[in-house]
Structure 1
Amino acid sequence: MSTVTSETIDVTLGERSYPVWIGRGLLDDHIRWRGALRGRHVLVISNHTVAPLYLERLSRGLDGLKWSSFLLDDGEAHKTFANVGLALDALATLGATRDACVIALGGGVVGDLAGFTAACWMRGIDFIQMPTTLLSMVDSSVGGKTGVNLPAGKNLVGAFHQPRAVIADIGTLDSLPEREYRAGLAEVIKGAAIGDAPFFAWLEAHADALRRRDETTLVQAIATKVRYKAGVVARDETEQGERALLNLGHTFGHALETAGHYTTLLHGEGVAVGMLLAARLSERLGMSTPADTTRLEQLLQSVNLPTRVPSGFDPDQLLALMRLDKKNTAGTLRLILWRGIGHAEIVSGVNENDVLAVLRDATK
C-alpha cells in the first residue's frame, strides 16, 4: 500500500539500524512492517482508548502468528511496575520465546511501558513502536528510552532498548483530541529550540498550518524533528553527553507533572511550561536575552500551548522534585539551559537560589 506523503528515516547506531516510517496508511501496510517480526509470538500492548480504534487493523497483519494483547488504562498514572508485571504475565501466558516481539500501539505511556517490558522479558526481546500520538511520533518512539514511573518521580526506572522499527501512521492523528495534538507540538518546538534555529523560524512561519493539522506541513515537521533526534541518538545512544540536551524543559516539566500527580498537565504541556522556565532561568543567569524568551513564548502561544505554571503549585516542592532528576550529579542541579534559540547546553552546579527565584516568580 502506498502513502500520499511519506518519509523514511534510518536511525543508525554503530552496526545496528532501524527504520522510522512516517506516512498515512502504514498500519495497513502489512508487507512493510511484517518483515520486522522474527518469531511467531507477538504481544500487542495498547490501551483502552486506542485499541478499539486500531487493534483490529493491526491484527490483520498478524495472521499465522500466535498473538495476544494487553491493554492499559489511559494516562501517565498507569505507567507502573504493577502493569509491567501484568504485561510480563501476558508474555508468559503466550509462551513467548526469545524471538518474540512486543508491539507498542499507542502514545508515549504505552511505548515506554512496552519497551521496558520487552527489555525485561528473557533479558531483552524485540519490540516495534507504532505511535498513535504526535508526541510519541516525534519523540518517545525514537531512541530506545523505556521506563516506568515511581511515586517519587517520573521515569526513574528504565532501560535503553532500541525498537526494531517505528511505524508512524499519521492517520491515527485524525482521532487525536486537540489537547493531545497540541502537547505533541511542544516536542517539535523543543527540538528546534535545542539545536536548529532555522527550523524554529520555519515553525514560526508555519504555526497556523500546524495548528490546522495540514498534512504536508505536519509530515515535514515530524520528519525534521525525528531526523534531528536520530542524529543525536546516533552520536550518544545512552545519554552520556549530547543526548541530555533533548531534555530541555524536562527537569522543570517532570517536576510539574509529578507535583500534579500526572493529571494536571500532559507531558507535552509540562515540557512547554518547562522550556519557558528554563529560558527564564537562562536569562536570569545572563546566558540569553529577553528577546529569545519572548520568541519561545510567542511560538508556544501560537499553537495554543500553556506558558504558565498552573495555580496551586508550591515552588519549594517543585525544587525538591527537581533534585531527583536523573541528570543531576554529585548532589547538584544539572540542567539543560540555552544561549538563545538553537543553542542549548548542559549546565552543572546551577545555584538552587536562582532556580527557586524563577519558580517563585512563575507561581505568584
Structure 2
Amino acid sequence: MRVIGLMSGTSYDAIDAAAADLRLDGDTLELRPLGMVSEAYAPGLRDALAAALPPAATSLAEVCRLDTLVGRAFAAAAVRADRELCGGRAELVASHGQTVYHWAEGNTVHGTLQIGQPAWIAEATGLPVAADFRPRDVAAGGQGAPLVSLVDLLWLRGRPGTPVALNLGGIANLTAPDGTAFDTGPACALLDAAAAALAGLSRDTDGALAARGTVHGPLLRRLLAEPYYALDAPKTTGKELFHAGYLRAALAGFGELSAPDVLATLTRLTARTVADAVRAVAATEVIASGGGTRNPVLMAALRAELPGVALRSSDGLGLPSAAKEAYAFAVLGFLTWHGLPGTDPASTGARHPSVLGSLTPGRDGLRLPPRGGTRPVRLALRRSG
C-alpha cells in the first residue's frame, strides 16, 4: 500500500511529505521509502502561527482561519508528493497536522490540539486521509506523544546492546528498547527563540553563533533547575513551556549577554538534558534524527556529553533523518487503515494500546480492508528500486 505521511513539527517551518510502500508480512511490517518532498510554510502563515501559539492569546476566528490555511498547505504538499513520489498512485494520506497546544500539567496530559483540516487534503488528492492521531491515546490515559516511539521500537528490535532513538526537533524525544519514551526537553526550540530575539535570525544555522560563544555557567544552572527535567517518564512538553517568554525570564538579571554566549549555553542545555536521559536508560548507542542533527555544534556537544556511547544518524541505517517522522506517520496511518493499534502503552503511559486517529473519506468513499491483520512486532526497511 502506498501511503504519504505528512508532518510539521514544533519548529513549524515546513511540511514534510514522505511516501512509502508498506505491507505486512506475518508479524513484520515492510517499509520501502519512496522519497520526501518538503513545502515551506508561506511566510505570512508561519508568522500567523507564531503569533497565535502560547503564551500568546488568540481567538476562535483565528483558530478557524489557521485550521483552514494549514489544511490547504498540507493538501498542497500531499498533491506534490503523490505526483512526484508515487506517480499519482498513492492510496492513503496520513496527516499529523500542526500541533498548536499540548495541555500538559506535570505528568498528566489532559488534551492536545492539532490543526490542518483533513477535508482539504481529501478534496485536493481524492484520497482517504487518516488524521488526528494523538487524542485517542490521551483519552486512554496516555501522553499522546511521542507517537513515533512505536515505529522506533519496531525498527530497533533485535539490534545489539541498548540502542535508543533520539529525535532532535523543536523538542527532543527519546525511545528506549523497553518501551520507555518521553520528551527530554528542548532541542532547537530555545535555540531558535534566542537566534530570533538576539540576532534577528530564524535559526543559528550550523551552530555558527554558538561556536563563537562560551557557556555561561550561572545561566546554565538556572536553566537546568527547570522542574520538568526531574519528572518521571512518561512525560511530554512543548512550546507551551519552552518559548521566547521562557527564555526572557531565564535571562533576567544577567545583564546583556552576547548572542553567541547565550546560544552556546542553550546548546549545552540541550546536550546535557539529552545526555542525562540517555544515561538514565543505560544506552549503548544513540540513533539520531531530526533537524538538530544538521547542527554540528550541537552534535559535537552531545558526543562530548556521552563519551563511550556511539552516536549516529538514522540515515546510516536506511531511514532518512529529515524524513523519519513523516515516514513514522505513514506507518501509523497504515496501521489505522488496517484497524491495528498504533501505540505502545509503555511509551505513552496509556491504559491500553489504541487504534489511532479518524478517517476522512476520499473521492470514492471508504473501502477498508477486512479485519484480521497481525499487529507487527518489527519493522524491516527495503531498498527502493
Question: Do they fold alike, i.e. is TM over 0.5?
Answer: no
TM-score range, shorter chain: under 0.3
Report the structure, 1 or 2, having the larger helix content: 1
User: What's the TM-score, normalizing by structure 2?
Assistant: 0.26
User: What's the TM-score, normalizing by structure 1?
Assistant: 0.27
Relative contact order, higher structure (CA 8 A, sep 6+): 2
